[in-house]
Structure 1
Amino acid sequence: MNQNYIKPDSWSIIEEGFDKDLVKSSESIFSLGNGAMGQRANFEETYTGETFQGSYIAGVYYPDKTRVGWWKNGYPEYFAKVLNAPNWIGVGIKVNGEVFDLNTCKNVSDFKRELNMKEGLYKRSFKAVLPNDAHIKVDVLRFLSLNIDEVGAIEYTVTALGTDLEIEMEPYIDSGITNEDSNWDDKFWETTSVKSENHQAFIEAHTMKTNFKTCTFMQASFFVDGETVELEPSIDKGELRVGHSYSQVLKEGQTIALHKFGGYIVDRNHPGKDLVKVAQETLSKASELGFDELLKKQKQSWADIWEMSDIAIEGDVKAQQGIRFNIFQLNQTYLGRDSRLNIGPKGFTGEKYGGSTYWDTEAYCIPFYMATKNQKVARNLLKYRYNHLEKAIENAQKLGFSNGAALYPMVTMNGEECHNEWEITFEEIHRNGAIAFAIYNYYRFTGDYSYIPEMGLEVLIGIARFWYQRANFSKQKNKYVILGVTGPNEYENNVNNNWYTNYLAQWCIDFAVAQLEKVQDSFKDDYKRVVGKTQLTDGEVSQWKKVAKNMYFPYSEENGVFLQQDGFLDKQLITVSELPSAQRPINQKWSWDRILRSPYIKQADVLQGFYFFEDHFSVEELQKHFDFYEPFTVHESSLSPCVHSIQAAKLDRMEQAYKFYLRTSRLDLDDYNKEVEEGLHITSMAGTWMSIVEGFGGMRVKNDQLSFEPKIPEQWSSYSFKVNFRNNIIKVSVRKQGAEFELRGNDTLTILYNDAEIDLRPGVPTKAS
């Protein structure tokens, strides 16, 4: 199968030619979202070939009962399923009585899909010959409105070719859907009403168990050769579906266009008893604007997003297409408007992984949202974790922890752990550290300390209590150790003293203690409130310090590196370059037993620590650890290439950094992991942004100042990006000859360029070489 079929283009994702084998992959790649809902790029019309139907509503999920062979105490009760929602995009087509289906057509020509990222539009066009020899031309335009985010719009046009044709179009909505991903084949939805009136239709349905109430709605209008036509439908209404069939005879060359508005109203945002009424009001709002005006507003909204978040690359179209695709999908998934939501690893593109948030949000996504939005967006992501603190304490209690110790879940929708694999659920506890680091990272970048006394200090106390209880004293080592963990490298389970986990534990305690002292000095009322609420004592804090001060770190004197875990050197250390390509990827070719005994690293582990805490180590130490661990890294996690790209750039290994960048930016477009049909890797896309801004651009915060040490890949003639640093917008442009900085704001700003201070004045480009 050709996985490298996307045409290079700087602003669009383009597929040319109809290939049934690529339909599911394209359904992922051409997905749409607007932060409130999203859908795979399924065909609107009937398609009987291989397809993965998927429409999703933000925050709506189902607690699918955990399926395990042997129940363990503390196990999550359920796996939170991202729910396939009722389908509103459907448009059944008949031509001279024959169902139009690309899978059964005699011929399909001039097939083209385009995801216009600049304007947030999905287009499809082709010519087809049906089994009854009818010839048609079809053009489809679809978008999910950013302005009325409960509404999506479709323009579906059919042109008669060669002869007069009778065209029947049936816009419909359907709640008779199932999840691809289900543990027990449970019924996820209960449909309670199906209504049809005045070219509009409404299906009310609620989720089982979680009882989210939804109203799926639609409205249709028609045009022949651009002129409005009043057509009366025949109505087909069942228990789970309602369709309106409209019939029109087209003369040769004539075109009929359907404008369909559809979408979801949810009781997360509206009273459950009023959903149909709100849907009617929403349709009225969309109708008053009309399709063309809504489209115009869509283009403007995306122009506003790109104005701040675009990264422009000259001289390398595939690299340019890759970064824009990643930025586009991140903005389709999460816009920061609702602090109850988070960034799911598949966004609105598939069901795998379940849950709405992983540690990916704190480790990878927050830097992107901090720098390309206002700081409120990143603050909302931190607020999300504060709102789930009680659940994190409950999660820890289930595992035997006490006294307010908090273990944040590996996977969650509502704060409860809902991950199904014990070696991850119980042991991949470094996720706690990523949350504490995000609090630090947010303050470091935005300068907004207020989150810590208001909310963050309670989170840090809960996390410090967890690490204190999770460590135990080893008489043999005369140090505190952390046993039975899985680090970021998930190809090692149940290991002792994962260096990254131990280092994070020590840092989290030290950071929590430092913030306690700072809040006590400067925010006395908050300190009194938090200490009273958490029942924290000086004696308890002293015990934390003892653990942090005496934490054990595995180290190899022979190699001069920290060891990934106690037993790493016991492995047969054969590098990835010595692995036959036929055995890759090992997660698809090897038994789990063989993987666990191998030295192969799924993603940055020790090097993840060197990424977070770069300023704790010298460049020479980074180089030594990079040279030791990267040769064993198979990069079979979407989160892996970006960290290695940043570090290779730091080490002036630009060719290697560039290769890693291409891998992270085109992971889904070129389907490196041969799994794109399951959905996109949304959270790792923020790592692609980091690869350019932090890797090639060398952006850091040093001594409370924004700092850049830019480099440029040989393949590029220039690149530019913008960051919002403490309400100062700085545009950074890098060429082979040097860099240029342009400040937008009212005040001057001093930044560091290769460790030298430069004063930026608003509106005055400043060259540096």
Structure 2
Amino acid sequence: MNQDYIKPDNWSVIEEGFNAERVKSSESLFSIGNGAMGQRANFEEQYSGPTFQGSYIAGVYYPDKTRVGWWKNGYPEYFAKVLNAPNWIGINVSVNGEQLDLHTCKVVDNFRRELNMKAGWLSRSFTATLQNNVVIEVEAKRFLSLELDEVGAIEYSVKPISTDAEVVFQPYLDSGITNEDTNWDDEFWDTLKVCNENNQAFIEAKTMKTEFHTCTFMESEVFVNGTAVAIKPVIESDSNSISFSYSNQVKQGETYAINKFGGYVVDTNHDKNELISAAKNVLNLATEKGFDVLLDEQKQAWERIWSMSDISISGDVKAQQGIRFNIFQLNQTYLGEDSRLNIGPKGFTGEKYGGSTYWDTEAYCIPFYMATKDQNVARSLLEYRYNHLEKAIENAGKLGFTNGAALYPMVTMNGEECHNEWEITFEEIHRNGAIAFAIFNYHRYTGDYSYIPEKGLEVLIGIARFWQQRATFSSAKNKYVILGVTGPNEYENNVNNNFYTNYLAQWCINYALENISKIESEYPSDFARVMNKVKLEEAELNKWKAVAENMYFPFSEEKQIYLQQDGFLDKELITVDHLEKAQRPINQKWSWDRILRSPYIKQADTLQGFYFFEDQFSNEELERHFDFYEPFTVHESSLSPCVHSIQAAKLDRMEQAYTFYLRTSRLDLDDYNNEVHEGLHITSMAGTWMSIVEGFGGMRVKDDMLSFTPKIPKEWDEYSFKVNFRHHILKVNVNQSGAKFELEGDSDLQILVNNSPVTISRNSLLTV
């Protein structure tokens, strides 16, 4: 049973009514971030019920020693934990000596929480009857500033309804925090200094092992009926925390409020010996502007983001809310302003999975950032991998590969592999192919070839070397095979000849060869520099060619399909529609042994190959493979429904495409997989964007031009989106009767619409 408590709304995520069983789920759904930091939607005031406390700083992590396998050769020694950072949002509230705690209140009425995606803020309001029978109204609003990305702001007010009352606000900082996700219950933080000056408080702390130095800070001001009042706070501190208490006698019906500014400065951006000074500077900037000015700037910053990235849908509020929620969370997680950062699968909403970088970035996220930002953002994501090339070569070396072969990590923070399930770490090697594909995809979309001779070629060579060495010649088949792998479908481990992996390996080698040849003839100085560095010789290239030309692909003549892996037809082929609902999701109900022997597919696997390389297969082949594999697919990976939505739309199966779209866009809002309390599925949200733009919009790059085959679900009246293609801003609007294309830019643009070339004049509208 999916959850259904989120109210449909075009621009907001809204929860009405307090339910303690929903607290953890809502903490995920209402998370906020600004690319540099983020936090789950924990209450500011004390809450003694079940909660998942989480504040996170981009790029700050801890290498948590693995519990198993670390004694084996090549096994990662640690798992990079996304760290719960010192808490700055806390404001204890007491009324006539009674703590405000929604878990212990007698009554909580009129509870309403709203995440306003248009303007980038989170609010909460309720009426509470405390244990001492005092009735209060509470309103809170907070945001993480996009303009000053080290700062967050909170406006919190209490109005006594039933009587005059003494109200105490106690804003605090606390570095004595723990992680929800930890292997050994280690202490992750070492508090170095707790201090205050005037109305400001600071905690300096560093992470154990990785030694990231941070300063968490706060400053507060209190108001009665909107007028600032000077109250001398009572200051308390210990080795891990500091609080300021502002006590006031508040008349019945008066509003007592606090504005709190807080956040983090980190030694990745400042001198570690000057962090308090840096914190003072940013606090002074924030308090000088004040809450209202910062909030106004927040609205303007989000307006700029939405002006390019919004997808509007009319006639279907749930579909509209779903896509905007996805786009909003992607922009909260990564804005492309710091090339050292990447897009973690949970973003700033939870700790599961660890690490900040998966193959999801290359396979799903780069198209979104290429089209809704500017190509430099996508190029930064490619350069992130180039900067980790030496680590990828080291990772491969630990597994016995030589001569500069590169294996990019499944999970990483700094380029080093830190995922520790052997069947994933050693065997889910298709991730290497996604990194090469992203280079191809970037060039295809932007037309910018310069990245490849400058940096990309070295990456492609390292990846091709890996595939050549990873393949094994089978004399029985007289072909090269790839043994012992896990494909994207993680419900099959340690299989032989996963079609998607083998196909990617062949493609990567051929793509590297093609670029070596092009750069040799067109970029001789880059070619000489790279060859001098990588020492690539003709004999080695001949080995690559032998593997690529003789790669084995399992195929069923009877069914006329490529097999997901050698043994797929040996399984008991019972389709998903025969599974009882009580058995779903199988990853929470079945043993792993049972899952591995079943035919059930976690996510698009063979079909992922058809998605990447659709030009190399006919529509008839896609249809055959879709009809065979989709009925076995349980879509228990967040990365699955979007690919199926795109392919269903390509096959003109609009009802299926729409169903998959709703599933991908509302995966978290409706909690399809019963796991949203752990955090959101950020990287798959880019797939939701693709399911509209590439699925319903049919956007592709063909013959070096943008191409569209627009379609629209019957449930929608109209939808529109924008893409930035080679410095042209193109707006696409599709309704039930046709499509319109509007161009912003300095020059005309030729595109394909339903495979026919049309030219759009600059600053004009074309109706098809």
Per the shorter chain, which TM-score range? over 0.9
Q: How do 1:523-534 and structure 2 match up within 5 A?
A: 523-534=523-534
Query: Structure 1, residues 303-341: CA drift from partner, whole Å, max 9, x if none?
Result: 000000000000000000000000000000000001100
Residue 39 of structure 2: aligned partner: 39
Residue 550 of structure 1: aligned partner: 550
Residue 731 of structure 2: aligned partner: 731
Q: How do 1:519-598 and structure 2 match up within 5 A?
A: 519-598=519-598
Task: Kindly indicate whether the alpha-carbon contact (under 8 Å) linking 2:2 and 2:672 is maintained by their aligned counterparts in 1.
Answer: no
Find the aligned partners of 1:497 and 1:766 in 2 and give their Cα distance. 48
Q: Which amino acid aligns with 1:390?
A: E
Task: Kindly indicate whether the alpha-carbon contact (under 8 Å) linking 2:405 and 2:462 is maintained by their aligned counterparts in 1.
Answer: yes
1:190 is displaced (CA, Å) by: 0.2
Question: Does residue 363 of the first structure (1) align with residue 363 of the second (2)?
Answer: yes
Unaligned runs of 5+ in 1: none
1:224 is displaced (CA, Å) by: 0.7
Q: Which moved more, 1:160-169 or 1:419-428?
A: 160-169
Task: Kindly indicate whether the alpha-carbon contact (under 8 Å) linking 2:315 and 2:718 is maintained by their aligned counterparts in 1.
Answer: yes
1:71 is displaced (CA, Å) by: 3.8
- Secondary structure of 1:382 counterpart: helix
Structure 1 stretches of 4+ moved >3 Å: none
Unaligned runs of 5+ in 2: none
Find the aligned partners of 2:443 and 2:522 in 1 and give their Cα distance. 16
Find the aligned partners of 2:525 and 2:485 in 1 and give their Cα distance. 38
Q: Which amino acid aligns with 2:429?
A: I
1:543 is displaced (CA, Å) by: 1.3
Question: Does residue 123 of the first structure (1) align with residue 161 of the second (2)?
Answer: no
Q: Which amino acid aligns with 1:667?
A: L
State the percentage of identical aligned residues: 73
Query: Structure 1, residues 32-65: CA drift from partner, whole Å, max 9, x if none?
Result: 0000000000000000001000000000000000
Find the aligned partners of 1:323 and 1:287 in 2 and give their Cα distance. 35
In the superposition, the TM-score normalised over structure 1's length comes to: 0.99
Find the aligned partners of 1:345 and 1:503 in 2 and give their Cα distance. 25
Q: How do 1:215-364 and structure 2 match up within 5 A?
A: 215-364=215-364
- Secondary structure of 2:683 counterpart: helix
Residue 509 of structure 1: aligned partner: 509
Find the aligned partners of 2:44 and 2:754 in 1 and give their Cα distance. 53
Q: Which amino acid aligns with 1:329?
A: Q
1:72 is displaced (CA, Å) by: 2.4
Task: Kindly indicate whether the alpha-carbon contact (under 8 Å) linking 2:69 and 2:75 is maintained by their aligned counterparts in 1.
Answer: no
Q: Which amino acid aligns with 1:525?
A: S
Task: Kindly indicate whether the alpha-carbon contact (under 8 Å) linking 2:265 and 2:275 is maintained by their aligned counterparts in 1.
Answer: yes
Q: Which amino acid aligns with 2:658?
A: Y
Find the aligned partners of 1:27 and 1:518 in 2 and give their Cα distance. 51
Task: Kindly indicate whether the alpha-carbon contact (under 8 Å) linking 2:94 and 2:100 is maintained by their aligned counterparts in 1.
Answer: yes
Q: Which amino acid aligns with 2:419?
A: H
1:540 is displaced (CA, Å) by: 1.0
Find the aligned partners of 1:90 and 1:155 in 2 and give their Cα distance. 12
Find the aligned partners of 2:64 and 2:319 in 1 and give their Cα distance. 40
- Over the aligned positions, Cα root-mean-square deviation in angstroms equals 0.8
Query: Structure 1, residues 355-375: CA drift from partner, whole Å, max 9, x if none?
Result: 001000000000000000000
Residue 174 of structure 1: aligned partner: 174
Query: Structure 1, residues 431-472: CA drift from partner, whole Å, max 9, x if none?
Result: 000000000000000001111011100000000000000001
Q: Which amino acid aligns with 1:574?
A: I
Find the aligned partners of 2:428 and 2:316 in 1 and give their Cα distance. 38
Question: Does residue 397 of the first structure (1) align with residue 436 of the second (2)?
Answer: no
Q: How do 1:469-480 and structure 2 match up within 5 A?
A: 469-480=469-480
* Aligned CA distance change for structure 1 residues 192 and 270 (closer, same or farther; 3 Å): same
- Secondary structure of 2:294 counterpart: helix
Q: Which amino acid aligns with 1:454?
A: E
Residue 704 of structure 2: aligned partner: 704
Query: Structure 1, residues 602-638: CA drift from partner, whole Å, max 9, x if none?
Result: 0000000000000000000100000010011010000
Find the aligned partners of 1:707 and 1:713 in 2 and give their Cα distance. 19
* Aligned CA distance change for structure 1 residues 2 and 105 (closer, same or farther; 3 Å): farther
Q: Which amino acid aligns with 1:225?
A: N
Task: Kindly indicate whether the alpha-carbon contact (under 8 Å) linking 2:266 and 2:275 is maintained by their aligned counterparts in 1.
Answer: yes
Residue 656 of structure 1: aligned partner: 656
Find the aligned partners of 1:113 and 1:193 in 2 and give their Cα distance. 36
Find the aligned partners of 1:246 and 1:590 in 2 and give their Cα distance. 54
Q: Which amino acid aligns with 1:155?
A: E
Find the aligned partners of 2:465 and 2:305 in 1 and give their Cα distance. 41
1:707 is displaced (CA, Å) by: 0.2
1:69 is displaced (CA, Å) by: 6.1
- Secondary structure of 1:367 counterpart: helix
- Secondary structure of 2:558 counterpart: coil
Find the aligned partners of 2:555 and 2:228 in 1 and give their Cα distance. 75
1:70 is displaced (CA, Å) by: 7.6
1:290 is displaced (CA, Å) by: 1.2
Find the aligned partners of 2:288 and 2:589 in 1 and give their Cα distance. 56
Task: Kindly indicate whether the alpha-carbon contact (under 8 Å) linking 2:2 and 2:670 is maintained by their aligned counterparts in 1.
Answer: no
- Secondary structure of 1:89 counterpart: coil
Residue 717 of structure 1: aligned partner: 717
Find the aligned partners of 2:279 and 2:14 in 1 and give their Cα distance. 34
Find the aligned partners of 2:579 and 2:557 in 1 and give their Cα distance. 27
Q: Which amino acid aligns with 2:81?
A: K
- Secondary structure of 2:180 counterpart: coil
Find the aligned partners of 1:107 and 1:599 in 2 and give their Cα distance. 50
Q: Which amino acid aligns with 1:648?
A: A
Residue 96 of structure 1: aligned partner: 96
Residue 147 of structure 2: aligned partner: 147
Q: Which amino acid aligns with 1:579?
A: L
1:541 is displaced (CA, Å) by: 1.1
